Structure 1
């Protein structure tokens, strides 16, 4: 059954123009072509990336964070309460007003105490600045090195300057060693991101990030199998060209270097818009969607490849809206650049007032029910 499914999936009429097929990609006369089984190399590379990342974050990113003055927010720990903890873990982290009233009856806490407990409990679960900084520094390092390596691999290639050259002789395009390693390393890196997504900082665009990683892995894998490698190298170079600016802006943001963060972000926004909203759709997608039909009849692989590119372009538009919104706010109001996708620590302007009321309640009524006293009444507002 599996062999039949595999035979159906790899039909030549699905992945190649009429008259061409897998036989055209057989190694001969010293010429080497991409093979589907080469992609398995990406798995051990992904594992190596995960290991190297742990070493990098401990030996490089953490000392760098200290050098740049990354400061952790002091977060008050909540007193243990099994009722509230069970509600927090099993029902919701943000109870409604009705639920808060019910929890007050069950715990003996005042409404203000329950609200503060949930606020502090949510803050405890949020990733620390150090964790965010280490993650950003790892991605900055990879994207910068990947962009430099990609540019070095393509600087002398004709299809970097004339995109139509990417189809010259297709699909009989000889595989170069630089293309092999560029592909395997990029595929290994994005695979490692997918493997580590559960432990990485979760942002509001978490689902979009998953879609992006999956679409990227599929795009790299598919373009490798059917020898769309020239187009693939250009797509990876375009994406790597702006990402390291974003990660460096995050690093300075976490370190509290406001001006550096703001101006690097503006540079990132400009490069992102040029590469993702101009070069990618009007140059690259044009040469994968419009130009090929002048050479051969459309086929399934043609639609599949361009469908993945359009998925990426939709994500580009989604992120561009967020980026432009932040950039406009900074340029018009000189506000601090913040990542709108990240959850921020919660604060309560009436915190000190509420703690004074808690003191009065304790003097009047004594300890609350269930054996819990009012804790942390003398803490400063540090959330």
Structure 2
């Protein structure tokens, strides 16, 4: 009897030890799971997921549409009661009396610029949210939210720059300075602007101001500061050339810039759709036009402006004994040349990045967006 009791006591003791050991293991696993859950929550709080990014971006686009529509509704309703207060927002100002289609410039042109900015914001946000993103998802099966956003942004750039280039080139083809740089400056100041040309220039002004807003709303990219500097310089050149009637040289530069942007946007859209080979071919075409237009043609215009413009505009130089509507000094010319040179410096920096992509393609890789942020994965 005593031996049987002892065996039972030993078995009970072992069961108790096993139970306690199992409890300790269970506690350790529970604690480990809790720690993992806390770490996961912390990471999610520090790094918002793609859904959060998508919601934030969509929210910005939807608010932009709402605010833009509100602006135009209020403008329309105000115009019904007080047409004199609103017609400046929708009508070109400073038409020369007795002319059919000749306009001067002035401070009231800012009203049309404001209208153009709001219109661009509305059209851009609408196309991004309701046209281009659905195309990326449903037509090209782009699953990544970030890639959908990038595709939509480049789609808008393609639409706008194509429209801008066609509009601008038509005016250039009809102009007296078509393929003749001397006529860019002969007869200065060019204060008689056609309605179509004036609207084109004001629209370009609005576009670059709007792009500064977009640049600060979008997710920051690797070359944010280069882009910001580029947009600021371009806005200064556009505003300054408008005030000093240097709109002809501004017109030519805008045209040669638009062509390259069309090709760049096309290449990026092909990349986001997964067409790597087509993207590489488009990148090659883009590279050729980049060198021809943004380096060779641009620098020729830059050289021509610095060496021949003062002589061609000699009659417009500021004189104390002469009343002049607008005149220039060597300092004013130098300021414009410095700004044009600044644009070329930024272009050279981008060219260095493009060469890196080219080297990667030659080594067997594929073209990638050098402007992408550090992490393009969802």
Q: TM-score, normalised on structure 2?
A: 0.67
Deviation, 1:197, is 1.8
Give the conservation status (yes or no) of the 8 Å contact 1:36–1:225. Answer: no
How many angstroms apart in 2 are the aligned matches of 1:205 and 1:315?
A: 10
1:204 partner SS: coil
- Give the greater-gyration-radius structure (CA): 2
Q: How many residues align?
A: 269
Could you list the runs of 5+ residues in structure 1 that have no partner in the other structure? Answer: 1-24, 74-126, 347-381
Give the conservation status (yes or no) of the 8 Å contact 1:61–1:137. Answer: yes
Aligned to 1:146: 164
Aligned to 2:363: 333
Distance of aligned partners of 1:201 and 1:247 in 2 relative to their CA distance in 1, 3 Å threshold: farther
Aligned to 2:117: 46
Structure number with the higher helix fraction is 2
1:322 to 353, 359, 372: 353
1:342 aligns with 2:372: yes
Aligned to 2:307: 290
1:135 aligns with 2:114: no
- Which structure exhibits the higher relative contact order, with contacts defined as CA atoms closer than 8 Å and separated by 6 or more residues? 1
1:175 aligns with 2:193: yes
How many angstroms apart in 1 are the aligned matches of 2:354 and 2:139?
A: 25
How many angstroms apart in 2 are the aligned matches of 1:299 and 1:28?
A: 33
Q: Deviations over 1:32-77 (max 9, x none)?
A: 322243234212211111111111112220222124424334xxxx
> RMSD over aligned Cα, in angstroms?
2.2
Aligned to 1:76: none
Give the conservation status (yes or no) of the 8 Å contact 2:161–2:262. Answer: yes
Aligned to 1:109: none
Distance of aligned partners of 1:333 and 1:207 in 2 relative to their CA distance in 1, 3 Å threshold: same
Aligned to 2:270: 252
1:71 aligns with 2:142: yes
How many angstroms apart in 2 are the aligned matches of 1:26 and 1:244?
A: 34
Give the conservation status (yes or no) of the 8 Å contact 2:162–2:258. Answer: yes
How many angstroms apart in 2 are the aligned matches of 1:34 and 1:268?
A: 36
Aligned to 1:92: none
Could you list the runs of 5+ residues in structure 2 that have no partner in the other structure? Answer: 1-93, 318-328
Give the conservation status (yes or no) of the 8 Å contact 2:238–2:250. Answer: yes
